[in-house]
Amino acid sequence: MTESLQNAFSLASRLPATDQDAFAAWLVAELESDKRWNGMFAKSQGMLAELSREALAEHSRKETKDWKTN
C-alpha cells in the first residue's frame, strides 16, 4: 500500500463509524464503476476506430462543417 493511500485510510479511520461505512461504500462503488468503464472502453475500440475512419473519410470528401461556423 502506498503512503498516500495509507494516510487516507488513517484519516478515514478517525471518522464516526457511519461515515466510515459511507466512505467504504463510496470507494467500492467507485472502484467497481472504474472497472466497468475500463471494460466497456476496451470493448469499444473496434467501433471507435471504425467511427474515426468514417469521420476522416467524410472530412476528406468535404462533407463536414467547422463547428465554429454553424
Coil, strand or helix at 62: coil
> Rounded to whole angstroms, how far apart are CA atoms 2 and 20?
20
| Nearest Cα to Cα of residue 10 among 18, 23, 31 | 23
User: For the chain, how far is it from start to end, CA to CA, in angstroms?
Assistant: 52
What would the grid cell of residue 19 be? 461515515
pLDDT digit string, tens, across residues 1-40: 999 999 999 999 999 999 999 999 999 999 999 999 999 8
Query: What is the residue extent of each domain of the chain?
Result: 16-64
Report yes or no: 41 and 33 within 8 Å, Cβ to Cβ: no
- Residue 65: the pLDDT is 86
Q: What is the pTM of this model?
A: 0.59
